[in-house]
Amino acid sequence: MSTFQAPKGTYDLIPPDSAKYLAVREAIAAPLKNSGYGYIETPGFENVELFSRGVGESTDIVSKEMYAFETKGGDKLALRPEGTASVLRAALEANLHKLGNLPVKLWYSGSYYRYERPQKGRYRHFSQVGAEAIGAEDPALDAELIILADQAYRSLGLSQFRILLNSLGDKECRPVYRDALQGFLRGLELDEDTRRRVEINPLRVLDDKRAVVQKQLVGAPLLRDYLCDACKAYHEEVRELLTGAGVAYQDDEKLVRGLDYYTRTTFEFVHDGLGSQSAVGGGGRYDGLSEMIGGPALPSVGWALGVDRTVLALEAEGIELELPATTSVFAVPLGEEARRVLFGLVTQLRRAGVATDFSYGGKGLKGAMKSANRSGARYALVAGERDLAEGVVQLKDMQSGEQSPVALDAVLDAVRERLA
């Protein structure tokens, strides 16, 4: 071990496990690519104000968890704690919304940073795959995104997850509800921190997990009863579309998300095998965010799924992804001349698209065959001086152990034929 370790709350992705993470990212991205979403990549850091305005000054993410810093040049930046504000910023900056093709549908995959108390499933550096559909108010778009996330999880074999669904209302009805809720909460016996939260972000109090708080919340006004007719109709349409698509969900009036930009549809994917960090993904509509960061009115909706937690969910369900072996052919040279000849063959096979690896470091036959085994290769190419004198190499089937000589200039064809 070196003097250094990965920083607290982080971990390294290392083979062979790292292949699982790649497969999860690909599985989440596949339905998006198949549904008109284009890939976007934005910087790992942004102007800190983008997040304080976008995600919200009163959220934990901004007030406690952001890696904010000032550069030597005096710029105030922050490592991105989430993707939505960045993606919208980039879309506005590139004028994608002016190309006359709304909604702008984008997907992304990357690392995010939150200074949280680390525990299983909660890290300071984590990974999301996300999708944003910018510039359209259409319940079918909300439904599309939820259906695609469901499809992604199911394609991985996951089944023990639930979809929680809620509507947070809009700028007409939510303030009325907020007032009513505040009135109710002010009458409760709450600690000082929570009382402060009642004043700046009362909806978050509903999300308080502590029993002392929860038992006082019985009888709290419900947002459902305050939704305006337009929000009610919109939500009803989303629900019907989901039901029509055969996607089961649970209405959860208490679902409040940890980011301030949400309006109307909000949802979370929770997995029942993960303990306290059970949210594997979440999202919703954010009709006001564009204006909050200085853009035009652009009603939008999106989600992000946590890659780390999705991998934990696979483990919790005992799902082994079928990952094809990365190497098809492994070359084992015996002696100096064979090394040169086989290295040439390896290059030829690779250029022809056959996944091939080579025994480096002058290992003996036993050590080299061990490497061949570990690589998962289906075939080994073995050659010593006697083989070369005869102009052949031995092609060994690693499963059956059978071995046969193949002329040097026929190796590519022989390998292709067998792998086909």
Residues that bind ligand HAM (CB under 6 A): 82-84, 114, 116, 122-123, 126, 128, 130, 132, 258-259, 279-284, 286, 302-304, 306, 308-309
Which residue, 142 or 357, has its beta carbon nearer to ligand HAM? 142
Contact 293, 88 (CB under 8 A): yes
Which residue, 269 or 358, has its beta carbon nearer to ligand HAM? 269
DSSP 15-70: TTTHHHHHHHHHHHHHHHHTTTPEE----SEEEHHHHIIIIITTSHHHHTS--EEE
Which residue, 59 or 356, has its beta carbon nearer to ligand HAM? 59
Which residue, 134 or 242, has its beta carbon nearer to ligand HAM? 134
The set of residues, in sequence order, having a beta carbon less than 8 Å from that of 37 and lying 6+ positions away, is: 105, 106, 107, 131, 133
Residue 305 bridge partners (DSSP): 129, 281
Q: How far is the CB of 123 from ligand HAM (least distance, A)?
A: 4
Contact 200, 182 (CB under 8 A): no
Q: How far is the CB of 158 from ligand HAM (least distance, A)?
A: 13
Instruction: Tell me the CA distances in angstroms from 19 to 31, 65, 291, 327, 328, one per residue in order.
Output: 19, 29, 40, 13, 16
Q: How far is the CB of 128 from ligand HAM (least distance, A)?
A: 5
Which residue, 123 or 379, has its beta carbon nearer to ligand HAM? 123
CA separation for the pair 160, 317 (Å, rounded): 8
Angle (nearest 5°) at CA 322 between 321 and 326: 115
Q: How far is the CB of 350 from ligand HAM (least distance, A)?
A: 37
Q: How far is the CB of 403 from ligand HAM (least distance, A)?
A: 48
CA separation for the pair 294, 400 (Å, rounded): 66
Which residue, 128 or 328, has its beta carbon nearer to ligand HAM? 128
Q: How far is the CB of 41 from ligand HAM (least distance, A)?
A: 15
Which residue, 177 or 286, has its beta carbon nearer to ligand HAM? 286
CA separation for the pair 41, 90 (Å, rounded): 9
Residue found by looking up tokens 């910023």 in the block: 89
Which residue, 26 or 116, has its beta carbon nearer to ligand HAM? 116
Q: How far is the CB of 302 from ligand HAM (least distance, A)?
A: 3
Parallel, antiparallel, or unpaired for β 250-251 and 161-167?
parallel
Q: How far is the CB of 20 from ligand HAM (least distance, A)?
A: 15
- Indicate the residue type of 148: L
Query: What is the number of the residue whose Cβ is closest to ligand HAM?
Result: 306
**Element (H or E) spanning 75, and its range?**
none
The set of residues, in sequence order, having a beta carbon less than 8 Å from that of 376 and lying 6+ positions away, is: 325, 326, 327
What is the separation of C-alpha 351 from the centre of its chain, rounded to a whole number of angstroms? 32
Which residue, 132 or 287, has its beta carbon nearer to ligand HAM? 132
Q: How far is the CB of 323 from ligand HAM (least distance, A)?
A: 22
